[in-house]
Amino acid sequence: FLPDKYADFIDANRKEDPVERLKTLKRLIHDLPEHHYETLKFLSAHLKTVAENSEKNKMEPRNLAIVFGPTLVRTSDDNMTHM
Protein backbone atom coordinates (compact mmCIF):
# COMPACT_ATOMS: atom_id res chain seq x y z
CA PHE A 1 0.00 0.00 0.00
CA LEU A 2 1.02 3.57 -0.31
CA PRO A 3 3.11 4.72 2.67
CA ASP A 4 0.76 7.59 3.52
CA LYS A 5 -2.23 5.18 3.59
CA TYR A 6 -0.61 2.59 5.86
CA ALA A 7 -1.90 4.12 9.10
CA ASP A 8 -5.41 4.44 7.63
CA PHE A 9 -5.54 0.72 6.82
CA ILE A 10 -4.15 -0.25 10.25
CA ASP A 11 -6.67 2.02 12.01
CA ALA A 12 -9.53 0.64 9.93
CA ASN A 13 -8.57 -2.93 10.71
CA ARG A 14 -8.54 -2.17 14.45
CA LYS A 15 -12.20 -1.08 14.50
CA GLU A 16 -14.17 -3.24 16.90
CA ASP A 17 -17.44 -3.17 14.94
CA PRO A 18 -17.02 -5.65 12.06
CA VAL A 19 -19.54 -3.84 9.85
CA GLU A 20 -17.79 -0.50 10.32
CA ARG A 21 -14.38 -2.16 9.85
CA LEU A 22 -15.45 -3.73 6.55
CA LYS A 23 -17.08 -0.51 5.32
CA THR A 24 -13.93 1.51 6.08
CA LEU A 25 -11.60 -1.05 4.50
CA LYS A 26 -13.73 -1.18 1.34
CA ARG A 27 -13.66 2.61 1.07
CA LEU A 28 -9.88 2.69 1.51
CA ILE A 29 -9.38 -0.03 -1.08
CA HIS A 30 -11.61 1.73 -3.61
CA ASP A 31 -9.72 4.99 -2.98
CA LEU A 32 -6.42 3.43 -4.04
CA PRO A 33 -4.91 4.59 -7.33
CA GLU A 34 -6.29 2.46 -10.14
CA HIS A 35 -3.06 0.53 -10.79
CA HIS A 36 -2.76 -0.34 -7.08
CA TYR A 37 -6.42 -1.33 -6.93
CA GLU A 38 -6.17 -3.59 -10.00
CA THR A 39 -2.98 -5.22 -8.70
CA LEU A 40 -4.58 -5.88 -5.31
CA LYS A 41 -7.70 -7.27 -6.98
CA PHE A 42 -5.65 -9.65 -9.15
CA LEU A 43 -3.44 -10.77 -6.25
CA SER A 44 -6.46 -11.30 -3.97
CA ALA A 45 -8.15 -13.48 -6.59
CA HIS A 46 -4.98 -15.53 -7.02
CA LEU A 47 -4.49 -16.00 -3.26
CA LYS A 48 -8.15 -17.01 -2.94
CA THR A 49 -7.55 -19.71 -5.55
CA VAL A 50 -4.45 -20.89 -3.69
CA ALA A 51 -6.39 -21.02 -0.39
CA GLU A 52 -9.23 -22.95 -2.03
CA ASN A 53 -6.70 -25.67 -2.83
CA SER A 54 -5.22 -25.80 0.67
CA GLU A 55 -5.95 -29.50 1.06
CA LYS A 56 -3.34 -30.10 -1.65
CA ASN A 57 -0.90 -27.25 -1.12
CA LYS A 58 -1.22 -26.68 2.69
CA MET A 59 -1.58 -22.94 2.07
CA GLU A 60 -4.56 -22.01 4.19
CA PRO A 61 -5.37 -18.28 4.61
CA ARG A 62 -3.33 -18.16 7.83
CA ASN A 63 -0.25 -19.58 6.08
CA LEU A 64 -0.70 -17.19 3.17
CA ALA A 65 -0.88 -14.28 5.62
CA ILE A 66 2.37 -15.39 7.27
CA VAL A 67 4.14 -15.62 3.91
CA PHE A 68 2.70 -12.59 2.11
CA GLY A 69 1.82 -10.25 4.99
CA PRO A 70 5.31 -8.83 5.57
CA THR A 71 5.76 -8.25 1.84
CA LEU A 72 2.39 -6.62 1.19
CA VAL A 73 1.94 -4.56 4.35
CA ARG A 74 4.95 -2.65 5.60
CA THR A 75 5.33 0.24 7.98
CA SER A 76 6.15 3.56 6.39
CA ASP A 77 9.67 3.45 7.82
CA ASP A 78 10.01 -0.12 6.49
CA ASN A 79 11.15 -1.40 9.88
CA MET A 80 10.19 -5.07 10.23
CA THR A 81 10.36 -4.94 14.04
CA HIS A 82 7.32 -2.65 14.14
CA MET A 83 5.09 -5.06 12.26
Residue 66 covered by a domain: yes
Task: Name the helix (H) or strand (E) containing 44.
Answer: helix 34-52
pLDDT one-digit tens code per residue, 12-52: 999 999 999 999 999 999 999 999 999 999 999 999 999 99
Residue 38 located in a structural domain:
yes
pTM reported for the whole predicted model: 0.74
Q: Is the dihedral of CA 61, 67, 73, 75 positive or negative?
A: positive
CATH number at residue 60: 1.10.555.10
**Domain boundaries, position 17:** 3-70
- Does the residue 31 lie in any domain? yes
Is residue 29, in this structure, part of any structural domain at all? Answer: yes
**Residue among 57, 1, 56, 76 at smallest CA distance from 31:** 1
Q: What distance in Å separates the CA atoms of residue 27 and residue 45, rounded to the nearest whole number?
A: 19
d(CA 33, CA 42): 14
